[in-house]
Structure 1
Amino acid sequence: MSKQISANEVKEHNTVEKGLYIIIDGNVYEMSGFVDEHPGGAKILKRVGGKDASKQFWKYHNESVLKKYQERLKIGSLKEEAKL
């Protein structure tokens, strides 16, 4: 079972130093170890750190990219939180 990560926890991990978390389609990825490898540059990853990057990801990537890196970078899934 995948680790459940809250939206607040993702927001707190918004820099390379804190652990750069991004959300893609409800899954959480830790990108701090990948920023220097990212073909589009570190700047774009740093800009979406701590946020849902699904829209930006799918604009420039296809499913094969996600499959290639998913096992290495995925750390869990976004926890469903009760809405009051």
Structure 2
Amino acid sequence: ELDELCAIAKENSIAIYLGMIERAHNRGGHSLYCSLVYIDNLGKIQSVHRKLQPTYEERLTWAPGDGNGLQVHPLKDFSVGGLN
């Protein structure tokens, strides 16, 4: 579903952080994750960070994530990162 955004990032040489709701099929496809995707300026998905612990009512819908997506990425003279 992110192919069009990856193409836009590449065409315009921009990096994109995108908050989204993810249904991870590689985890059974039954849970939803509040996720943050990083697409670099070459149009490649470099990381997906799933919110570590849903809060209060969020727990009724969203599953807890993991620390695999907690990364920073080089971007010109900076290192960028994000949390969801």
- TM exceeding 0.5: no
TM-score range with shorter-chain normalisation?
under 0.3
Q: Quick check: which one's helix share is greater? A: 1
* Largest Rg, 1 or 2: 2
TM-score between both structures, scaled by the size of structure 2 = 0.27
Q: Quick check: which one's strand share is greater? A: 2
